[in-house]
A and B are shown apart, each in its own frame.
Chain A
Amino acid sequence: MIALLRRDLALAVRAGGGFGLGVAFFLILCALVPFGVGPDTAALQPIAAGILWLGALLACLLSLDRIFALDHEDGSLDLLATSPLPLEGAVAVKAMAHWITTGLPLIVVAPLFGILLHLPPAAIPALLGSLLLGTPALSMLGAFGAAVTVGLRRGGLLLSLLVLPLYIPTLIFGTEMIRRGQEGGDMGPPLLFLAGITAGVLAVIPFAAAAALRVNLR
Protein backbone atom coordinates (compact mmCIF):
# COMPACT_ATOMS: atom_id res chain seq x y z
CA MET A 1 0.00 0.00 0.00
CA ILE A 2 2.81 2.38 0.88
CA ALA A 3 4.55 1.48 -2.36
CA LEU A 4 1.38 2.33 -4.28
CA LEU A 5 1.05 5.63 -2.43
CA ARG A 6 4.67 6.51 -3.23
CA ARG A 7 4.20 5.55 -6.87
CA ASP A 8 1.09 7.71 -7.23
CA LEU A 9 2.76 10.65 -5.53
CA ALA A 10 5.88 10.28 -7.67
CA LEU A 11 3.76 10.14 -10.81
CA ALA A 12 1.83 13.23 -9.77
CA VAL A 13 5.01 15.19 -9.02
CA ARG A 14 6.96 14.13 -12.10
CA ALA A 15 4.06 14.56 -14.53
CA GLY A 16 4.18 18.20 -13.49
CA GLY A 17 1.33 20.22 -12.09
CA GLY A 18 0.25 17.63 -9.58
CA PHE A 19 0.71 20.04 -6.70
CA GLY A 20 0.76 23.29 -8.60
CA LEU A 21 -2.24 23.23 -10.90
CA GLY A 22 -4.92 22.86 -8.26
CA VAL A 23 -3.46 25.71 -6.23
CA ALA A 24 -3.12 27.89 -9.32
CA PHE A 25 -6.76 27.24 -10.21
CA PHE A 26 -7.75 28.10 -6.64
CA LEU A 27 -5.79 31.37 -6.86
CA ILE A 28 -7.39 32.34 -10.16
CA LEU A 29 -10.85 31.64 -8.80
CA CYS A 30 -10.20 33.76 -5.71
CA ALA A 31 -8.78 36.52 -7.92
CA LEU A 32 -11.80 36.47 -10.23
CA VAL A 33 -14.41 36.75 -7.49
CA PRO A 34 -13.67 40.42 -6.63
CA PHE A 35 -14.07 41.26 -10.33
CA GLY A 36 -17.48 39.62 -10.24
CA VAL A 37 -18.87 41.05 -7.01
CA GLY A 38 -16.81 44.20 -6.49
CA PRO A 39 -13.76 44.83 -4.29
CA ASP A 40 -15.57 46.13 -1.16
CA THR A 41 -14.77 44.45 2.11
CA ALA A 42 -18.45 44.59 2.93
CA ALA A 43 -19.29 42.61 -0.20
CA LEU A 44 -16.44 40.11 0.05
CA GLN A 45 -16.36 39.31 3.74
CA PRO A 46 -19.74 37.52 4.03
CA ILE A 47 -19.08 35.31 1.01
CA ALA A 48 -15.38 34.61 1.59
CA ALA A 49 -15.98 31.30 3.38
CA GLY A 50 -18.31 30.08 0.66
CA ILE A 51 -15.92 31.10 -2.12
CA LEU A 52 -12.99 29.36 -0.44
CA TRP A 53 -14.98 26.16 -0.03
CA LEU A 54 -16.35 26.28 -3.59
CA GLY A 55 -12.83 26.91 -4.87
CA ALA A 56 -11.50 23.90 -2.96
CA LEU A 57 -14.37 21.81 -4.27
CA LEU A 58 -13.85 22.78 -7.92
CA ALA A 59 -10.06 22.47 -7.72
CA CYS A 60 -10.57 18.98 -6.30
CA LEU A 61 -13.06 18.15 -9.06
CA LEU A 62 -10.69 19.17 -11.86
CA SER A 63 -8.11 16.56 -11.03
CA LEU A 64 -10.51 13.72 -10.24
CA ASP A 65 -10.46 11.96 -13.61
CA ARG A 66 -6.72 11.50 -13.20
CA ILE A 67 -7.20 9.15 -10.25
CA PHE A 68 -7.97 6.14 -12.41
CA ALA A 69 -8.01 7.25 -16.06
CA LEU A 70 -4.26 7.02 -16.77
CA ASP A 71 -3.92 3.71 -14.96
CA HIS A 72 -6.91 2.41 -16.87
CA GLU A 73 -5.37 3.39 -20.20
CA ASP A 74 -1.98 1.78 -19.67
CA GLY A 75 -3.41 -1.32 -18.00
CA SER A 76 -1.86 -0.90 -14.57
CA LEU A 77 -5.36 -0.80 -13.12
CA ASP A 78 -5.87 -4.40 -14.24
CA LEU A 79 -2.62 -5.31 -12.49
CA LEU A 80 -3.81 -3.57 -9.36
CA ALA A 81 -7.08 -5.48 -9.51
CA THR A 82 -5.27 -8.84 -9.70
CA SER A 83 -2.66 -7.95 -7.09
CA PRO A 84 -2.89 -9.38 -3.55
CA LEU A 85 -3.86 -5.94 -2.26
CA PRO A 86 -7.68 -5.77 -2.12
CA LEU A 87 -9.10 -3.32 -4.63
CA GLU A 88 -10.81 -1.48 -1.78
CA GLY A 89 -7.38 -0.80 -0.28
CA ALA A 90 -6.02 0.37 -3.63
CA VAL A 91 -8.96 2.77 -4.01
CA ALA A 92 -8.40 4.17 -0.53
CA VAL A 93 -4.68 4.67 -1.20
CA LYS A 94 -5.35 6.35 -4.52
CA ALA A 95 -7.89 8.68 -2.92
CA MET A 96 -5.30 9.48 -0.25
CA ALA A 97 -2.68 10.25 -2.91
CA HIS A 98 -5.21 12.55 -4.58
CA TRP A 99 -5.84 14.27 -1.27
CA ILE A 100 -2.12 14.76 -0.63
CA THR A 101 -1.56 16.23 -4.08
CA THR A 102 -4.64 18.49 -4.22
CA GLY A 103 -6.33 18.76 -0.82
CA LEU A 104 -3.27 19.33 1.31
CA PRO A 105 -1.73 22.15 -0.82
CA LEU A 106 -5.12 23.86 -0.86
CA ILE A 107 -5.29 23.76 2.93
CA VAL A 108 -1.79 25.22 3.18
CA VAL A 109 -2.59 28.20 0.94
CA ALA A 110 -6.21 28.68 2.07
CA PRO A 111 -5.39 31.13 4.92
CA LEU A 112 -3.44 33.28 2.45
CA PHE A 113 -6.38 33.38 0.03
CA GLY A 114 -8.67 34.00 2.98
CA ILE A 115 -6.77 37.22 3.61
CA LEU A 116 -7.16 38.14 -0.06
CA LEU A 117 -10.93 37.81 0.34
CA HIS A 118 -10.96 39.78 3.62
CA LEU A 119 -11.80 36.78 5.76
CA PRO A 120 -11.35 38.01 9.36
CA PRO A 121 -8.28 36.48 11.09
CA ALA A 122 -10.54 35.05 13.80
CA ALA A 123 -12.09 32.70 11.21
CA ILE A 124 -8.76 31.29 9.99
CA PRO A 125 -8.65 28.39 12.51
CA ALA A 126 -12.22 27.44 11.55
CA LEU A 127 -11.26 27.61 7.86
CA LEU A 128 -8.25 25.36 8.39
CA GLY A 129 -10.16 22.93 10.58
CA SER A 130 -13.13 22.62 8.24
CA LEU A 131 -10.93 22.09 5.18
CA LEU A 132 -8.74 19.60 7.03
CA LEU A 133 -11.80 17.60 8.09
CA GLY A 134 -13.81 17.99 4.89
CA THR A 135 -11.39 17.62 1.97
CA PRO A 136 -10.59 13.91 2.60
CA ALA A 137 -14.28 13.22 2.05
CA LEU A 138 -14.16 15.21 -1.20
CA SER A 139 -11.24 13.11 -2.48
CA MET A 140 -12.86 9.83 -1.46
CA LEU A 141 -16.23 10.68 -3.04
CA GLY A 142 -14.38 11.89 -6.10
CA ALA A 143 -12.58 8.55 -6.31
CA PHE A 144 -16.00 6.89 -6.31
CA GLY A 145 -17.18 9.11 -9.16
CA ALA A 146 -13.94 8.48 -11.06
CA ALA A 147 -14.36 4.73 -10.55
CA VAL A 148 -17.90 4.83 -11.94
CA THR A 149 -16.94 6.83 -15.04
CA VAL A 150 -13.49 5.38 -15.72
CA GLY A 151 -14.45 3.38 -18.81
CA LEU A 152 -16.43 6.15 -20.48
CA ARG A 153 -15.12 8.18 -23.35
CA ARG A 154 -16.65 11.47 -22.30
CA GLY A 155 -16.72 10.86 -18.59
CA GLY A 156 -15.55 14.32 -17.49
CA LEU A 157 -18.85 16.16 -17.58
CA LEU A 158 -20.77 13.16 -16.26
CA LEU A 159 -18.24 12.85 -13.44
CA SER A 160 -18.98 16.36 -12.20
CA LEU A 161 -22.73 15.77 -12.54
CA LEU A 162 -22.47 12.64 -10.40
CA VAL A 163 -20.00 13.91 -7.82
CA LEU A 164 -21.12 17.47 -7.12
CA PRO A 165 -24.48 16.54 -5.52
CA LEU A 166 -22.57 14.20 -3.21
CA TYR A 167 -20.50 17.16 -2.02
CA ILE A 168 -23.50 19.12 -0.75
CA PRO A 169 -23.53 17.95 2.90
CA THR A 170 -19.77 18.51 3.25
CA LEU A 171 -20.10 21.96 1.74
CA ILE A 172 -22.98 22.91 4.04
CA PHE A 173 -21.24 21.90 7.24
CA GLY A 174 -17.86 23.24 6.11
CA THR A 175 -19.12 26.75 5.38
CA GLU A 176 -21.40 26.69 8.43
CA MET A 177 -18.36 25.97 10.60
CA ILE A 178 -16.42 28.92 9.16
CA ARG A 179 -19.45 31.19 9.49
CA ARG A 180 -19.77 30.33 13.14
CA GLY A 181 -16.03 30.81 13.62
CA GLN A 182 -16.37 34.24 12.00
CA GLU A 183 -19.25 35.28 14.24
CA GLY A 184 -17.84 33.65 17.35
CA GLY A 185 -20.60 31.06 17.58
CA ASP A 186 -20.41 27.45 18.74
CA MET A 187 -18.41 25.51 16.16
CA GLY A 188 -19.02 22.14 17.83
CA PRO A 189 -22.09 20.77 15.99
CA PRO A 190 -20.98 21.46 12.39
CA LEU A 191 -17.49 20.23 13.28
CA LEU A 192 -18.88 16.96 14.57
CA PHE A 193 -21.19 16.54 11.57
CA LEU A 194 -18.31 17.23 9.18
CA ALA A 195 -16.07 14.75 10.98
CA GLY A 196 -18.90 12.20 10.99
CA ILE A 197 -19.51 12.53 7.25
CA THR A 198 -15.80 12.20 6.50
CA ALA A 199 -15.41 9.18 8.76
CA GLY A 200 -18.46 7.50 7.25
CA VAL A 201 -17.31 8.24 3.70
CA LEU A 202 -13.82 6.92 4.37
CA ALA A 203 -15.26 3.74 5.86
CA VAL A 204 -17.93 2.92 3.28
CA ILE A 205 -17.11 4.53 -0.07
CA PRO A 206 -13.98 2.42 -0.84
CA PHE A 207 -16.28 -0.60 -1.10
CA ALA A 208 -18.68 1.16 -3.47
CA ALA A 209 -15.82 2.53 -5.56
CA ALA A 210 -14.12 -0.89 -5.74
CA ALA A 211 -17.41 -2.48 -6.81
CA ALA A 212 -17.77 0.10 -9.59
CA LEU A 213 -14.15 -0.49 -10.69
CA ARG A 214 -14.70 -4.25 -10.87
CA VAL A 215 -17.69 -3.67 -13.14
CA ASN A 216 -15.66 -1.36 -15.38
CA LEU A 217 -12.75 -3.80 -15.59
CA ARG A 218 -14.99 -6.72 -16.50
Chain B
Amino acid sequence: MSIWEYANPVKFMRTSGAILPWVVAGAAVCTLTGLVWGFLTPDDFRQGSTVKIVFLHVPAAMMAINIWVMMLVASLIWLIRRHHVSALAAKAAAPIGAVMTLIGLITGAVWGQPMWGTWWEWDPRLTSFLILFLFYIGYIALWSAVEDPDSAADLTGVLCLVGSVFALLSRYAVFFWNQGLHQGASLSVQPGERMSAVYRYPLYLTMLGFGLLFLALLLIRTRTEIRRRRLAALQAREMRA
Protein backbone atom coordinates (compact mmCIF):
# COMPACT_ATOMS: atom_id res chain seq x y z
CA MET B 1 0.00 0.00 0.00
CA SER B 2 1.61 3.20 -1.09
CA ILE B 3 0.29 6.61 -1.99
CA TRP B 4 1.57 6.19 -5.55
CA GLU B 5 -1.22 3.70 -6.22
CA TYR B 6 -3.50 6.69 -6.60
CA ALA B 7 -1.40 7.86 -9.52
CA ASN B 8 -3.25 5.21 -11.51
CA PRO B 9 -6.17 7.13 -13.08
CA VAL B 10 -8.58 4.19 -12.72
CA LYS B 11 -7.81 3.83 -9.03
CA PHE B 12 -7.94 7.61 -8.62
CA MET B 13 -11.33 7.83 -10.32
CA ARG B 14 -12.77 5.06 -8.18
CA THR B 15 -11.49 6.39 -4.86
CA SER B 16 -12.23 10.05 -5.60
CA GLY B 17 -15.71 9.14 -6.80
CA ALA B 18 -16.35 7.35 -3.52
CA ILE B 19 -15.15 10.13 -1.21
CA LEU B 20 -16.38 13.07 -3.28
CA PRO B 21 -19.96 13.24 -1.86
CA TRP B 22 -18.58 13.21 1.69
CA VAL B 23 -16.10 15.97 0.92
CA VAL B 24 -18.80 18.08 -0.72
CA ALA B 25 -21.12 17.55 2.25
CA GLY B 26 -18.34 18.36 4.73
CA ALA B 27 -17.38 21.51 2.82
CA ALA B 28 -21.01 22.67 2.68
CA VAL B 29 -21.64 22.01 6.39
CA CYS B 30 -18.39 23.58 7.63
CA THR B 31 -18.50 26.64 5.36
CA LEU B 32 -22.18 27.40 5.89
CA THR B 33 -22.12 26.79 9.66
CA GLY B 34 -18.94 28.81 9.99
CA LEU B 35 -20.30 31.71 7.96
CA VAL B 36 -23.66 31.80 9.74
CA TRP B 37 -21.98 31.45 13.14
CA GLY B 38 -19.56 34.17 12.11
CA PHE B 39 -22.42 36.38 11.03
CA LEU B 40 -24.09 35.99 14.44
CA THR B 41 -20.97 37.04 16.39
CA PRO B 42 -21.20 40.37 18.22
CA ASP B 43 -19.81 43.49 16.57
CA ASP B 44 -16.24 44.45 17.35
CA PHE B 45 -16.08 47.57 19.53
CA ARG B 46 -13.79 49.39 17.10
CA GLN B 47 -14.45 47.78 13.72
CA GLY B 48 -18.21 47.39 14.11
CA SER B 49 -19.83 44.81 11.89
CA THR B 50 -17.05 44.99 9.26
CA VAL B 51 -15.06 42.54 11.37
CA LYS B 52 -17.27 39.76 10.01
CA ILE B 53 -15.63 39.91 6.62
CA VAL B 54 -12.69 38.15 8.25
CA PHE B 55 -14.59 34.84 7.94
CA LEU B 56 -14.30 35.10 4.15
CA HIS B 57 -11.06 37.04 3.86
CA VAL B 58 -8.72 34.95 5.99
CA PRO B 59 -9.72 31.47 4.71
CA ALA B 60 -9.64 32.64 1.08
CA ALA B 61 -6.23 34.28 1.51
CA MET B 62 -4.88 31.24 3.30
CA MET B 63 -6.13 28.91 0.57
CA ALA B 64 -4.70 31.18 -2.13
CA ILE B 65 -1.21 30.53 -0.77
CA ASN B 66 -1.80 26.88 0.08
CA ILE B 67 -3.13 26.13 -3.41
CA TRP B 68 0.04 27.50 -4.96
CA VAL B 69 2.08 25.25 -2.65
CA MET B 70 -0.12 22.31 -3.65
CA MET B 71 0.48 23.14 -7.32
CA LEU B 72 4.22 23.28 -6.64
CA VAL B 73 4.16 19.82 -5.03
CA ALA B 74 1.99 18.40 -7.82
CA SER B 75 4.29 19.90 -10.47
CA LEU B 76 7.32 18.39 -8.75
CA ILE B 77 5.65 14.98 -8.65
CA TRP B 78 4.84 15.27 -12.35
CA LEU B 79 8.35 16.39 -13.30
CA ILE B 80 10.03 13.70 -11.20
CA ARG B 81 7.71 10.69 -11.41
CA ARG B 82 5.62 11.49 -14.51
CA HIS B 83 2.23 10.73 -12.98
CA HIS B 84 -0.42 12.25 -15.22
CA VAL B 85 -2.99 12.64 -12.46
CA SER B 86 -0.56 14.92 -10.64
CA ALA B 87 -0.15 17.23 -13.63
CA LEU B 88 -3.91 17.34 -14.17
CA ALA B 89 -4.47 18.13 -10.49
CA ALA B 90 -2.07 21.08 -10.75
CA LYS B 91 -3.93 22.28 -13.84
CA ALA B 92 -7.27 21.88 -12.08
CA ALA B 93 -6.09 23.74 -8.98
CA ALA B 94 -4.85 26.91 -10.71
CA PRO B 95 -8.20 28.59 -11.49
CA ILE B 96 -9.45 27.79 -7.96
CA GLY B 97 -6.34 29.44 -6.55
CA ALA B 98 -6.78 32.47 -8.78
CA VAL B 99 -10.38 32.88 -7.61
CA MET B 100 -9.33 32.52 -3.95
CA THR B 101 -6.70 35.22 -4.48
CA LEU B 102 -9.32 37.44 -6.06
CA ILE B 103 -11.75 36.83 -3.16
CA GLY B 104 -8.98 37.73 -0.73
CA LEU B 105 -8.21 40.95 -2.62
CA ILE B 106 -11.84 41.99 -3.07
CA THR B 107 -12.97 41.28 0.50
CA GLY B 108 -9.84 43.10 1.67
CA ALA B 109 -10.77 46.12 -0.44
CA VAL B 110 -14.36 46.08 0.83
CA TRP B 111 -13.09 45.98 4.42
CA GLY B 112 -10.32 48.50 3.78
CA GLN B 113 -12.65 51.16 2.41
CA PRO B 114 -14.42 51.92 5.73
CA MET B 115 -11.49 50.93 7.97
CA TRP B 116 -8.41 52.37 6.29
CA GLY B 117 -10.35 54.88 4.20
CA THR B 118 -9.04 53.46 0.95
CA TRP B 119 -9.92 50.63 -1.40
CA TRP B 120 -6.32 49.91 -2.18
CA GLU B 121 -3.01 50.66 -0.56
CA TRP B 122 0.42 49.63 -1.86
CA ASP B 123 1.07 47.67 1.28
CA PRO B 124 3.53 44.73 1.15
CA ARG B 125 0.87 42.10 1.85
CA LEU B 126 -1.61 43.49 -0.64
CA THR B 127 1.08 43.92 -3.26
CA SER B 128 2.45 40.42 -2.88
CA PHE B 129 -1.08 39.09 -3.23
CA LEU B 130 -1.51 41.01 -6.45
CA ILE B 131 1.78 39.53 -7.65
CA LEU B 132 0.57 36.06 -6.68
CA PHE B 133 -2.55 36.71 -8.76
CA LEU B 134 -0.35 37.65 -11.75
CA PHE B 135 1.56 34.38 -11.35
CA TYR B 136 -1.73 32.45 -11.34
CA ILE B 137 -2.85 34.25 -14.52
CA GLY B 138 0.43 33.51 -16.28
CA TYR B 139 0.27 29.86 -15.24
CA ILE B 140 -3.31 29.44 -16.50
CA ALA B 141 -2.53 31.30 -19.73
CA LEU B 142 0.43 29.01 -20.42
CA TRP B 143 -1.73 25.90 -19.87
CA SER B 144 -4.27 27.11 -22.40
CA ALA B 145 -1.65 28.25 -24.93
CA VAL B 146 0.23 24.97 -25.37
CA GLU B 147 -1.64 22.39 -27.39
CA ASP B 148 0.21 19.15 -26.67
CA PRO B 149 -0.94 18.13 -23.15
CA ASP B 150 2.36 16.58 -22.06
CA SER B 151 4.40 19.56 -23.26
CA ALA B 152 1.95 21.87 -21.52
CA ALA B 153 2.34 19.91 -18.28
CA ASP B 154 6.15 20.06 -18.54
CA LEU B 155 6.32 23.76 -19.36
CA THR B 156 3.83 24.81 -16.69
CA GLY B 157 5.65 22.59 -14.20
CA VAL B 158 8.94 24.37 -14.85
CA LEU B 159 7.15 27.72 -14.76
CA CYS B 160 5.59 26.79 -11.41
CA LEU B 161 9.01 26.00 -9.93
CA VAL B 162 10.60 29.23 -11.17
CA GLY B 163 7.47 31.20 -10.28
CA SER B 164 7.44 29.86 -6.73
CA VAL B 165 10.96 31.12 -6.12
CA PHE B 166 10.13 34.53 -7.52
CA ALA B 167 6.77 34.80 -5.78
CA LEU B 168 8.56 34.17 -2.48
CA LEU B 169 11.34 36.57 -3.41
CA SER B 170 8.82 39.28 -4.30
CA ARG B 171 6.97 38.62 -1.06
CA TYR B 172 10.02 39.67 0.93
CA ALA B 173 11.36 42.21 -1.56
CA VAL B 174 8.25 44.37 -1.22
CA PHE B 175 9.01 44.92 2.47
CA PHE B 176 12.04 46.82 1.24
CA TRP B 177 9.95 49.08 -0.86
CA ASN B 178 7.05 50.12 1.31
CA GLN B 179 5.95 49.96 4.91
CA GLY B 180 2.85 48.01 5.79
CA LEU B 181 -0.65 49.00 6.81
CA HIS B 182 -1.93 45.44 7.02
CA GLN B 183 -1.93 43.89 10.46
CA GLY B 184 0.36 41.01 11.30
CA ALA B 185 -0.84 37.50 12.07
CA SER B 186 -4.20 37.37 13.84
CA LEU B 187 -3.94 33.70 14.67
CA SER B 188 -1.12 32.47 16.85
CA VAL B 189 -0.57 29.63 19.28
CA GLN B 190 0.44 32.23 21.87
CA PRO B 191 -2.56 33.30 23.94
CA GLY B 192 -2.84 37.07 24.07
CA GLU B 193 -1.46 37.55 20.56
CA ARG B 194 -4.53 36.15 18.89
CA MET B 195 -8.04 37.38 18.38
CA SER B 196 -10.80 36.67 20.88
CA ALA B 197 -12.33 33.20 21.05
CA VAL B 198 -15.69 34.58 19.95
CA TYR B 199 -14.24 35.20 16.50
CA ARG B 200 -11.59 32.51 16.54
CA TYR B 201 -13.74 29.37 16.59
CA PRO B 202 -16.04 30.31 13.69
CA LEU B 203 -12.90 31.33 11.83
CA TYR B 204 -11.33 27.91 12.38
CA LEU B 205 -14.53 26.35 11.08
CA THR B 206 -14.60 28.44 7.90
CA MET B 207 -10.90 27.73 7.37
CA LEU B 208 -11.65 24.01 7.54
CA GLY B 209 -14.67 24.57 5.31
CA PHE B 210 -12.61 26.40 2.66
CA GLY B 211 -10.01 23.63 2.78
CA LEU B 212 -12.70 21.02 2.15
CA LEU B 213 -14.29 23.25 -0.49
CA PHE B 214 -10.97 23.39 -2.32
CA LEU B 215 -10.59 19.62 -2.04
CA ALA B 216 -14.09 19.09 -3.43
CA LEU B 217 -13.59 21.49 -6.35
CA LEU B 218 -10.15 20.02 -7.00
CA LEU B 219 -11.50 16.47 -7.17
CA ILE B 220 -14.36 17.48 -9.44
CA ARG B 221 -12.09 19.43 -11.78
CA THR B 222 -9.42 16.72 -11.85
CA ARG B 223 -12.05 14.09 -12.65
CA THR B 224 -13.30 16.31 -15.47
CA GLU B 225 -9.76 16.66 -16.81
CA ILE B 226 -9.23 12.90 -16.71
CA ARG B 227 -12.51 12.33 -18.53
CA ARG B 228 -11.57 14.96 -21.11
CA ARG B 229 -8.25 13.19 -21.64
CA ARG B 230 -10.03 9.85 -22.07
CA LEU B 231 -12.44 11.40 -24.53
CA ALA B 232 -9.55 12.82 -26.57
CA ALA B 233 -7.91 9.38 -26.57
CA LEU B 234 -11.16 7.76 -27.76
CA GLN B 235 -11.59 10.31 -30.51
CA ALA B 236 -7.99 9.83 -31.62
CA ARG B 237 -8.54 6.06 -31.76
CA GLU B 238 -11.69 6.52 -33.81
CA MET B 239 -9.88 8.78 -36.26
CA ARG B 240 -7.27 6.11 -36.81
CA ALA B 241 -9.78 3.26 -37.25
| A46 to B: closest C-beta gap in Å | 14
The distance in angstroms between the C-alpha atoms of A120 and B164, with both chains bound, is: 37
Of the stretches B27-35, B101-109, B172-180, the one at the interface is: B172-180
The interface bits of chain B over 89-120 (1 if a CB of A lies within 8 angstroms of the residue's CB, else 0) are 00000000000000000000000000000000
A193–B155 touching, CB < 8 Å: no
The distance in angstroms between the C-alpha atoms of A166 and B161, with both chains bound, is: 12
Of the stretches B51-59, B140-148, B200-208, B217-225, the one at the interface is: B140-148
The residues of B that contact A144 with a CB separation of less than 8 Å are 162
A100: interface (CB < 8 Å):
no
Of the stretches A85-93, A102-110, A205-213, the one at the interface is: A205-213
A24: interface (CB < 8 Å):
no
A152–B158 touching, CB < 8 Å: no
Interface members, chain A 194-218 (any B CB < 8 Å): 197, 205, 208, 211-212, 215-216, 218
Chain B contributes a number of interface residues (CB within 8 A of A) equal to 25
Of the stretches A13-21, A29-37, A74-82, A167-175, the one at the interface is: A167-175
B162–A165 touching, CB < 8 Å: no
B121: interface (CB < 8 Å):
no
The residues of A that contact B141 with a CB separation of less than 8 Å are 158, 161-162
Chain B residue, CB-CB nearest to A170: B173
B177–A172 touching, CB < 8 Å: yes
Partner among A165, A205, A215 whose Cβ is within 8 Å of the Cβ of B154 = A215
Chain B residue, CB-CB nearest to A197: B169
The distance in angstroms between the C-alpha atoms of A212 and B135, with both chains bound, is: 18
The residues of A that contact B7 with a CB separation of less than 8 Å are none
Dominant SS at the A interface?
helix
B155–A148 touching, CB < 8 Å: yes
Partner among A154, A165, A215, A216 whose Cβ is within 8 Å of the Cβ of B170 = A165
Chain B residue, CB-CB nearest to A214: B154
Known: A158-B141, A165-B135. A172 touches B161 (CB 8 A): no
Chain A contributes a number of interface residues (CB within 8 A of B) equal to 29
A22: interface (CB < 8 Å):
no
A176: interface (CB < 8 Å):
yes
| A108 to B: closest C-beta gap in Å | 27
| A153 to B: closest C-beta gap in Å | 9
The distance in angstroms between the C-alpha atoms of A137 and B199, with both chains bound, is: 46
B170–A148 touching, CB < 8 Å: no
The residues of B that contact A158 with a CB separation of less than 8 Å are 138, 141-142, 145
The residues of A that contact B159 with a CB separation of less than 8 Å are 148, 162
| B66 to A: closest C-beta gap in Å | 20
A136: interface (CB < 8 Å):
no
Instruction: Give B residues with C-beta under 8 Å from A.
Output: 131, 134-135, 137-138, 141-142, 145-146, 151, 154-155, 158-159, 161-163, 166-167, 169-170, 173-174, 176-177
Question: What are 6 A-B pairs at a CB distance below 8 A?
Answer: A144-B162, A172-B177, A173-B173, A176-B176, A189-B176, A208-B162
Instruction: Give A residues with C-beta under 8 Å from B.
Output: 144, 148-149, 151-152, 154-155, 158, 161-162, 164-166, 168-169, 172-173, 176, 189-190, 193, 197, 205, 208, 211-212, 215-216, 218
Closest 5 CB pairs of A and B: A215-B154, A169-B173, A165-B134, A169-B169, A172-B173
